[in-house]
Structure 1
Amino acid sequence: MRKLLLSGILCCSLISVSSVYAQKSEVPKFITNVEGVKEYSLNNGLKVLLIPDASQSNMVVNIVYNVGSRNEGYGEKGMAHLLEHMLFKSTKNLGDIKKMLSDKGGNANGTTWLDRTNYYEVFPSSDENLKWSIEMEADRMINATILQTDLDKEFSVVRNEFEIGENRPDRVLQERIVSTAYLWHNYGNSTIGSKEDIERVKANTLRVFYEKYYQPDNATLVVAGKFDEQKALQYIGQYFGVVPRPKRVLDKTYTIEPSQDGEKFVELKRAGDSKNMGALYHTVSYADKDYAALDALGEVLTADPSGYLYKALVETQKVSSLYFWQPTVRDASYMYFGFSVANDKDIKATQDVVRAELDKITTVKYTDQDVARAKAKIIKEIESIKNNTISYAINLTEIIGAGDYRLGYLYRDAVEKLTKEDIQRVAEKYFRSNNRTVGIFIPSKDEQRIKPIEYTDEQIVALTKDYKGKALEKEVANFEASIKNLKQNLTEGKLTNGLKYGVIKKEIKGGKVQATFNFPVSNEKDLAGKSNVGSIMAELLKTGTKTRSKEQIQDRLDQLKSSVYFSFNQQTLSVYISTYKESFKEVMEILGDVLVNSTFPQNELTKTISEYSTYLESRLNDPQAVAFTEIIRQTNSYPKESIFYTSTTQEQIDAFKKIKQSELIDFYKNILGGNNGVGSIVGDLDSKETAKILENTFGKWNSKSKYEIAKPLFFETKKLDKDYLTPDKENAVALGRVSFKMDRNSPDYPAFIMANEILGSGGFLSARIPMRLREKEGISYGAGASLNVPITNDVAYWQYFALLNPTKKSAVETAAKEEISKALKDGFTAEELKSNLGSWQNGRKTRLGNDNTLIGLVNTYLQYGIPLEDYDDLETKVKALKLEDINAVIRKYLSLEKMTSIYAGDFNKKQ
């Protein structure tokens, strides 16, 4: 196990960036261009990746440090993750990081895992945002303050995050299996760490860890999206180039997990409401050529509906659901299979059945079709991520942590070259019972043991240094994130049956196309008592048609690198499509077939109900599920047949088990239809050709049930404080709601938006409620507020939430209500208005750069006639607000005497 250098070796103080700004800044040296990823380096060892994409209106700065839980020593479990939290506090030069992030809006986060820690910021594209992000990351690389006073508050927040994970039996089971599978390597340790270590670590110990690993020679800086490349290089040279190369030399980790010499078994007994099983096999690092073959084998085994394990276990209802996972990591990895088991099943008998099926993995004769199907799905996912530049830049974090960003291309190339012989070989090599952790120890002789393969840094360099990649794709056109530009690129149309649609002309990387269609249907009378039928019906739409099997539908969508998803809520069927320009027509043909020819096989209904029921059983005593369900039930009084009624979890389970195939078919044939629908498509499509495709898909698809919009009733909230006990759960939830009448045309709406920003939802954890509960007192991992003002009616509400340790219930309740009381009594300040207004505006600009936001705006316009200009008009109204307007509106609508408060958790805990 690797340990930190002695503090005496790192006794030098932090180097202030400001003290070296006077030095001549450095011009980053160009290294290579791999498929549009331009690599540079600085003399201090910093690696830089630029990924320009003119089609974006946002940019992301993402810095990855090669340090994670793998680098932690004795007594330091969770240190890397705790340090990540601390780097959002303050720096010597710039000050309060969270405050600055809050003021600038956008999206920001930090994450820690086994091999790496990263920090990223997504902002609207501008030179100012680019410069600030680079300067800030350079400053907190070596100038973080790491104060003991901040740590005293933050450790309880991290502990609360730890406790949230402890509420999930499947997650805890996986951690126990992983820790049992690894004897020595730190991959056996959870990244979030030991609760005791988290609570006892001191700031000076964190500082030693920080000074060792947070240095330019241990980091990769990624800048992606729409930005000025020359200015980016200038800012990087200006702020990072002046940071000296550290004198210390990082030791290489050298612990290698020995070959497992027999099947292991772990049994976990603790509170929970569902049964789960897991199985782990030791595999290889991401750099190994076998990694791609193993990923493909995982798909071949678990895919719905074609997977061998899926058919043997889920279709036969021996388990309710299954999945597999292979982490993207630097050293020898593992493949994990997770199984959910219905409560009426004998878990020990199921364990034997599952183990028997796992034993067959080495004996199956895999086919060319198996390989083609898996390759299509994996390549689809690779392409989907690659063609979303912002997500791709963040996703690179894992690949960089695994050794080098180019390993991702080698992985893709390996997937494309896979044959059934590769699948057969890895199945026979790795999936042996003596390499598995799930059961008891079995002595045996002459085992063929699997020894993890070590990859040195030099080997990874040799693998990647001359890699050139595929030919560069053509650069996409610029698309300005503005309502004016949206309108200029929007083509509207109407089908013969009345469906309204909009085509947003925009080039997206890779020729990607995204679409969302919403189909309002029927009326309250015809939908009475059918809410659960509608949701299951939507889930089963892709399980087979008169002309295509479920397997054929899924295989073809994967081959087209496309996805189609359905959901049904209250009285609207929604369809979400992700595809590519050349595949759009065929994907819509498949969708058209699904909408008019679905057959809803009985075996699929049985499987889905089992899966849903098992999932719901796991939430029976989950504090978050209980709290968010009960806050609705306590503030609304609808009859059970109403589409607005909120069922208890047990009521949902009971209702699902009663659903019949005939009910699904009746709902499908008589309720669904597109004649009142709307849909928006974004991509580089020809509007006339698109109109023909849409007419062929939806033009004759009409509902037999008359459509009348259903509107909810208003129920005034009353003062109520109610506890729901969830025994032996480590985390708790607090919610408070006040209902009132307001629609988006109300003159009070803009003021309430800003009041909500200041009180609970604005900025980066800097609004009053989260600042008090998390930052000042450290009694909640997550806290905030939300405002719900609908479009078509005036039934509105405001709500706050907090995640907490059950023993902190009283403190959280007091703090939250005190902050609301202070706001009602004393109002907000001019400084708060100024700060949150800027953050709110920047957040809206960031969202406008998201394709789903554009789709949502156009669909709202088509369905409700709300002009696109309202997006800008609302901002104009908010900017014109005076402080007294905001203070007046919160006093008008909010009152603790009308607040319904729900608390869910194990409040009998003593500590």
Structure 2
Amino acid sequence: MHSRTGAGKSWMEGKSIFESHYHGSTTSGRIAYHSRRTRSQPPLYLAQMQSRISNPVSLIIFFLLISVPLFAYDLNQVRVEHFQNGLTVMVLEDHTLPLVSTQMLYRVGGRNECDGTTGVAHFVEHMAFRATKNFPKTDVVNRIYAAGGEWHGYTWIDETTYFETVPVQYVDLVLQIQADRMHNALINESEVEAERGAVLTELHSYENDPASLLNDAVLTTCFLEHPYRNNTIGWTSDVEHLQHDDIANFYHRYYNPSNAVLAIVGDIKTDEILQRVHRYFDVIPAGNSDSIPRTKEPPQIGERRINLNGPANSNYFQITYVAPAAQDSDYPIFLLLQSVLTGSSGINFIQHEDPEKAQPQTLLYGIGESIGSFICPSEQPYVFTIAGKTARDVSQTEIESSIENKIAALRNDLIPAEELERARKQLLFELVMDITNTENAAHQLAFFEGIHAFDVLQHLPELVNAVTPEAIRIVAQKYLQPHQRTIGWYLAGALPHPAALMKPSVKLNAATKPQTEEGNLISEPQIRKLKNKLPVIFQRVTHVPSGTLRILIPSDTVSSSAESVADEPVWRYTSLNWKFLEGELNQVIAAAQKSVAELKQEKPDEESDDPETRLNQTLPQLLGIVPTVGELHPAAIAIAGDFDEQQALISLENAFGKIPTARKLTPLKLQVTEKEKIVRIPGKPQSQLGYAIIAPPPSSRDSYAYRMLLYILTHDYGGRLGEELITKRGLVYYIGNNYNSDGTSAWISITTGVNPDKLNEVRKEFDRLLKDLANNPPSESELKEAKSYLIGRRLTGNQNNDELTAMALREYIDYGHVLTSAEFKTKVESVTQEQLDKIIPEFLKGVTAIVDTNP
């Protein structure tokens, strides 16, 4: 029922086009008989792949390659148990931090829906986050929030998943929630209409995006018979007419132990956690496990095309081929083929649900304004997609011919060894980045077991390293022929009629690096200064053979050759980001030195015709905030990962120790310039509503009081706003919120998308709930929950290198150092009930921005 920030927008605008849901949140008993599966032998297709190696020299190279440590987690250590009632349980111990992640995956998704009831799997997922027998109202998520945890869920073509990360002392809580959701979800008929409103609002959020429209149209053209053709979130008319019985019957048919995989990763003991799982799940009957579609898509024997027209600044294209399923021996080869064409983004669906933008030195790089590719692990053959956009005056034939010529070269000729090795290295790098924390690991275990491909996941580095140029050519010939294409174009122009868009609801097996003593796998951050006084924050993370380098630039109007993000993780700054494998830090520092030297200021973005983007442009303007044009010099550097600190300091000194360092940003004097502003962009399918207030900076005693009041008012799908506008009324789908700080100034934003016909109603309810804070101030229990959430979330939300470097830089800018856990807890615990009551009047002095898309 819940979507990650920005879901529903095109990858070509840095947004998502695939539906996924992110929310960010003893007694003895008889142990039932179960079987234990061992994973010591490679699957048959590994032997088949190895047999393709044609000479002894290649064989030697192959085994040298696979001896390199590639993964933070040794997947051979995963314990896989099959309970008597059919439940598959996977356990992997990770004692890095005192937390645990669980993922419950059901082998049911869009593939199991019939005409007239598309979207029912996704609708069930929404309802399953509402209430269960033992967790009434929305306790299935609110109890996770209160524990300082994070919860997620998504519906996709093959699966529906629910997962949580919490401090380890709450592991019984999440197991109880997962068991109750499996057997006791309350699919109340009285709540269906409210949830339908939330689902339709989510669905409409995708309609502003041409790439989403095009993707739906191409998939329905590519698949003639297999249910993979359907939009996972459902077609609008189906969602509008789903009945309570459709939803309840679907839940009772597919939510059962024999159709489920539970993965648990974290600071637990395997035997002990299995006993707990037995305690909560053994009482649940096995149920039905037949969820794999019988329909097989017939071979495509001719090119298919579809053209759309609509308002846009560019033309969009998508070329789709049927691709092998994850268990197919061609799958690892196809992954490497993708890396050759555009580069790879790995195989973790929740991290990489959008097409990977083509990288320099790949075959398709430079075609059109932007281009990328996408392939998703699947139970049955799904798709490989090449998609992008181009200027309106560029010939369609030119784009299609440019792509086909590159692919034809792979079909006809052997790829040069140098190109193949570059692509192989990039793919193996992404496989490392796929699993960098407990949440990633739990997801990947359950996901691949769910599609019966865990063996593939375990042995994927070996399989990738075994791929030869000849194998690439054979697979290209097999899957990427011109007659196997489905080509779609979305041409910028007049919109014939508002379309009813439907959006999808949504190394590895090598030796693990020796661990240090438990509890010391993530060190405390250390701050060093280069000779020019540039601060560098080091944090060693030794259980992952990779790292992240971030450089903070005091300007949010920066043009860089590196991966860069404005206003994240620090408002008014741009973060330049690099990831690296163990031993590669010097190369990354050299690349960073070059990128910093080439930084350029760019003009602030023009006013956007995308409603969500326009809202985010308008809100800060009402507080007198303008784009920051600062110095193009580093303000701070952070590195987290597996690296030699002394060598890193020497390399950073050589690269950055003699350049100017950035001065502190000039503090902004925030003030309300306009109390309310309405922007009209008629014809777009979804409007936007936002509220912003000036907040105290982190140094203020009231800073955390404002953050707690924000949490009480709204946190993703919870809080007072979420309970009323989402859970009870179904008026909106998601409510975003943020505390923005540059260390000296701060402001808070609350934003949501809303269907145009509901805009006035949502506005009135929003205003009413805000004003109700004065008449109904936060209770003691609400304050206690807010404190628990903030303290727990600092642990569960900062596990991997990206998260750790972001937190380090954010706190360094805010406080001049990185807070210890004890310091953070002291700040949070010091907030009093009286403080909250005192700041409510200031909290209500905010500004409102509306993007009205009504005709």
Q: TM-score when scaled to structure 2?
A: 0.82
Superposed displacement of residue 681, structure 1: 2.7
Report if aligned partners of 1:279, 1:336 keep a CA contact under 8 Å in 2: yes
Going from structure 1 to structure 2, the CA distance change for 1:869 and 1:187 (only over 3 Å counts) comes to closer
Counterpart Cα distance in 2 of 1:813 and 1:595: 44
Q: What corresponds to 1:769 in structure 2?
A: 721
Superposed displacement of residue 385, structure 1: 1.8
How many pairs align? 756
Counterpart Cα distance in 2 of 1:520 and 1:863: 11
1:768-847 equivalences in 2 (<5 Å): 768-791=720-743, 793=744, 795-847=745-797
Question: 2:158 matched to 1:209?
Answer: no
Q: What corresponds to 2:92 in structure 1?
A: 51
Question: 2:308 matched to 1:307?
Answer: no
Going from structure 1 to structure 2, the CA distance change for 1:637 and 1:858 (only over 3 Å counts) comes to closer
Q: What corresponds to 2:474 in structure 1?
A: 425
Going from structure 1 to structure 2, the CA distance change for 1:165 and 1:400 (only over 3 Å counts) comes to farther
Report if aligned partners of 1:55, 1:507 keep a CA contact under 8 Å in 2: no
Report if aligned partners of 2:144, 2:166 keep a CA contact under 8 Å in 1: no
Superposed displacement of residue 736, structure 1: 1.7
Question: 2:661 matched to 1:621?
Answer: no
Q: What corresponds to 1:120 in structure 2?
A: 163
1:505-584 equivalences in 2 (<5 Å): 505-509=540-544, 511-520=545-554, 532=557, 535-536=558-559, 538=560, 540=561, 565-566=563-564, 574-584=575-585
Q: What corresponds to 1:694 in structure 2?
A: 652
Question: 2:634 matched to 1:682?
Answer: no
Report if aligned partners of 2:692, 2:847 keep a CA contact under 8 Å in 1: yes
2:112 partner amino acid: N
1:187-266 equivalences in 2 (<5 Å): 187-246=228-287, 248=288, 250=290, 252-266=292-306
Going from structure 1 to structure 2, the CA distance change for 1:411 and 1:743 (only over 3 Å counts) comes to closer
Counterpart Cα distance in 1 of 2:88 and 2:145: 28
Q: Of 270, 276, 286, which aligns to 2:316?
A: 276
Question: 2:556 matched to 1:500?
Answer: no
Counterpart Cα distance in 2 of 1:637 and 1:251: 53
Going from structure 1 to structure 2, the CA distance change for 1:864 and 1:750 (only over 3 Å counts) comes to closer
Deviates more, 1:340-349 or 1:494-503: 340-349
Counterpart Cα distance in 1 of 2:576 and 2:402: 37
2:615 partner amino acid: A
Question: 2:851 matched to 1:904?
Answer: yes
SS in 2 for 1:90: coil
Superposed displacement of residue 57, structure 1: 3.6
Counterpart Cα distance in 1 of 2:729 and 2:520: 42
Counterpart Cα distance in 1 of 2:526 and 2:432: 27
1:305 partner amino acid: P
Going from structure 1 to structure 2, the CA distance change for 1:807 and 1:744 (only over 3 Å counts) comes to same
SS in 2 for 1:83: helix
Superposed displacement of residue 172, structure 1: 1.1
Q: Of 129, 140, 145, which aligns to 1:102?
A: 145
Going from structure 1 to structure 2, the CA distance change for 1:384 and 1:869 (only over 3 Å counts) comes to closer
Counterpart Cα distance in 2 of 1:336 and 1:750: 46
Deviations 1:484-507 (A, max 9, x none): x95xx4444322222222333442
1:719 partner amino acid: K
Q: Of 826, 843, 849, which aligns to 1:894?
A: 843
Counterpart Cα distance in 2 of 1:755 and 1:162: 30
Question: 2:622 matched to 1:634?
Answer: yes
Report if aligned partners of 1:784, 1:802 keep a CA contact under 8 Å in 2: yes
SS in 1 for 2:714: helix
Q: Which has the greater radius of gyration?
A: 1
Going from structure 1 to structure 2, the CA distance change for 1:858 and 1:899 (only over 3 Å counts) comes to closer
1:759 partner amino acid: L
Report if aligned partners of 1:275, 1:342 keep a CA contact under 8 Å in 2: yes
Report if aligned partners of 2:318, 2:488 keep a CA contact under 8 Å in 1: no
Q: Of 171, 176, 182, which aligns to 2:217?
A: 176
Counterpart Cα distance in 1 of 2:736 and 2:305: 42
Counterpart Cα distance in 1 of 2:311 and 2:614: 16
Counterpart Cα distance in 1 of 2:406 and 2:821: 55
Superposed displacement of residue 334, structure 1: 1.8
Q: What corresponds to 1:654 in structure 2?
A: none
Aligned-residue CA RMSD (Å):
3.1
Superposed displacement of residue 180, structure 1: 0.3
Superposed displacement of residue 595, structure 1: 4.7
Deviations 1:857-891 (A, max 9, x none): 54456566635457644533443443232122111
Counterpart Cα distance in 2 of 1:708 and 1:841: 29
Going from structure 1 to structure 2, the CA distance change for 1:724 and 1:672 (only over 3 Å counts) comes to closer
Q: What corresponds to 1:388 in structure 2?
A: 437
Deviations 1:745-802 (A, max 9, x none): 32322322221111123xx6221112211111100011244333542x2x43333212
Superposed displacement of residue 307, structure 1: 2.3
Normalized per residue, which structure has more helix? 1
Q: TM-score when scaled to structure 1?
A: 0.77
SS in 2 for 1:35: helix
Superposed displacement of residue 853, structure 1: 5.0
Superposed displacement of residue 625, structure 1: 0.8
Counterpart Cα distance in 2 of 1:520 and 1:72: 50
Superposed displacement of residue 687, structure 1: 3.8
Counterpart Cα distance in 2 of 1:865 and 1:777: 41
SS in 2 for 1:170: helix
Counterpart Cα distance in 1 of 2:456 and 2:140: 33
Going from structure 1 to structure 2, the CA distance change for 1:201 and 1:368 (only over 3 Å counts) comes to same
Q: What corresponds to 1:163 in structure 2?
A: 204
Question: 2:679 matched to 1:724?
Answer: yes
Counterpart Cα distance in 2 of 1:765 and 1:195: 22
Deviations 1:3-47 (A, max 9, x none): xxxxxxxxxxxxxxxxxx996243765422552222112111111
1:715 partner amino acid: Q
Report if aligned partners of 1:46, 1:216 keep a CA contact under 8 Å in 2: yes
Q: What corresponds to 1:13 in structure 2?
A: none
Deviates more, 1:870-879 or 1:198-207: 870-879
1:254 partner amino acid: R
1:622 partner amino acid: D
Q: Of 735, 754, 757, which aligns to 2:708?
A: 754
Counterpart Cα distance in 2 of 1:567 and 1:144: 40
Deviations 1:560-594 (A, max 9, x none): xxxxx445779856443322333333433444455
Counterpart Cα distance in 2 of 1:687 and 1:353: 46
Counterpart Cα distance in 2 of 1:873 and 1:32: 45
Superposed displacement of residue 261, structure 1: 1.9
Q: What corresponds to 1:866 in structure 2?
A: 816
Report if aligned partners of 2:687, 2:754 keep a CA contact under 8 Å in 1: yes
Superposed displacement of residue 383, structure 1: 1.6
Report if aligned partners of 1:26, 1:238 keep a CA contact under 8 Å in 2: no
Q: What corresponds to 1:549 in structure 2?
A: none
1:580 partner amino acid: L
Counterpart Cα distance in 1 of 2:701 and 2:105: 46
Counterpart Cα distance in 2 of 1:167 and 1:587: 38
Going from structure 1 to structure 2, the CA distance change for 1:711 and 1:497 (only over 3 Å counts) comes to same
SS in 2 for 1:772: helix
1:709 partner amino acid: L
Deviations 1:431-464 (A, max 9, x none): 2221111179xxxxxxxxxxxxxxxxxxxxxxxx
Q: Of 24, 35, 52, which aligns to 2:30?
A: 24
Report if aligned partners of 1:738, 1:894 keep a CA contact under 8 Å in 2: yes
2:782 partner amino acid: E
